[in-house]
Amino acid sequence: MDYSVRGAWWSGETVAVVTGANRGIGHALAARLAEHGLTVVLTARDGARGEAAATPLRARGLAVVVRHLDVSDAASVADFAAWLRDDVGGLDILVNNAAVSFNEIDTNSVEHAETVLRTNFYGAKMLTEALLPLFRQSPATSRILNISSQLGLLNKVSNPSLKALLQDEDRLTEAAIESMVARFLAQVKDGTWAEPGQGWPKVWTDYSVSKLALNAYSRLLARRLQAHGERVSVNCFCPGFTRTDMTKGWGKRTAEEVADVGARLALLPPGELPTGTFFKWCTPQLYSKL
């Protein structure tokens, strides 16, 4: 598959919302989408940090609008959705990028598991559901790109019944995904999450469970939208190990390199745009290999 950006279907009227765009991958992706000529809504949970991140982009003449958005806060999500509906009139692309991890590269504490799940999974889901009615049903198809991680792939789960549930597209429901998350958080509370047999991912477990849930939700949502004939695609993108604050500067690639590929995926020509796909870097993964 050729991932170069070509055959532009978009214009300056095309609106892309990027969450957690004041730094790291989100910021680089917001800049790249604006460089391609879209109008970008750069969102940040801290207004001042958002403004500081947008100022140099605007100074280059890029169409960047800043808006406050804390994806883990229901009131903030509702305010944002109302503003997007009333003042902007809708959106074409949503990049769910905002996320947290509190672990060092080689540690695995679950002390902040609630915040991690509330931000990385519930936050992305809450925002997506709030914005779904606002996507333009354009012939080019609107797009949701969830920045996820291969740490949340099924091959990281060793509990056979959990794996079977997540693999069974017909049995899997949003309620089942949420109950998996609730079970993990309950085990964190009672200290049993790491017992043999629980079978959760072994690396950055709370973060991995958040991405496992995000990946499963993305697949379900893609099916749901397709079944209802909605012109909105839903795909996940794992950028790989990237040098940002999240990795304390470790990694094999820069946020700008990630932004090149992320923007290409977000801007794929309508005829080549899949839905329900997990991209590991720029390679779509076979479901059986997840």
**CA distance linking residue 259 with residue 40, whole number of Å:** 14
Minimum separation from the CB atom of position 14 to ligand NDP (A): 22
Which tokens is 273 given? 């745009």
> Do 210 and 216 touch, CB atoms closer than 8 A?
no
Instruction: Considering the complex, state which of residue 251 and residue 276 has its C-beta at the smaller distance from ligand NDP.
Output: 251
Residue (of 242, 226, 118, 209) closest to 169 by Cα position: 226
Shortest-Cβ-distance residue relative to ligand NDP: 24
Instruction: Considering the complex, state which of residue 136 and residue 244 has its C-beta at the smaller distance from ligand NDP.
Output: 244
User: Which DSSP helix (H) or strand (E) runs through 191?
Assistant: none
Please report, as a single letter, which amino acid is at residue 81. A
Minimum separation from the CB atom of position 58 to ligand NDP (A): 18
Minimum separation from the CB atom of position 242 to ligand NDP (A): 4
Distances in Å between the alpha carbon of 123 and those of 114, 146, 285?
12, 12, 25
Which tokens is 255 given? 């946020």
Answer yes or no: 207 catalytic. yes
Instruction: Considering the complex, state which of residue 201 and residue 251 has its C-beta at the smaller distance from ligand NDP.
Output: 251
Distances in Å between the alpha carbon of 11 and those of 37, 152, 219, 224?
6, 34, 28, 28
Minimum separation from the CB atom of position 180 to ligand NDP (A): 19
Active-site position among 3, 122, 207, 217: 207
Can you give the binding site for ligand NDP, defined by CB under 6 A? 19-20, 22-26, 45-46, 49, 69-72, 97-100, 119, 123, 147, 149, 238-239, 241-242, 244-247, 251
Instruction: Considering the complex, state which of residue 165 and residue 216 has its C-beta at the smaller distance from ligand NDP.
Output: 216
Active site residues: 207
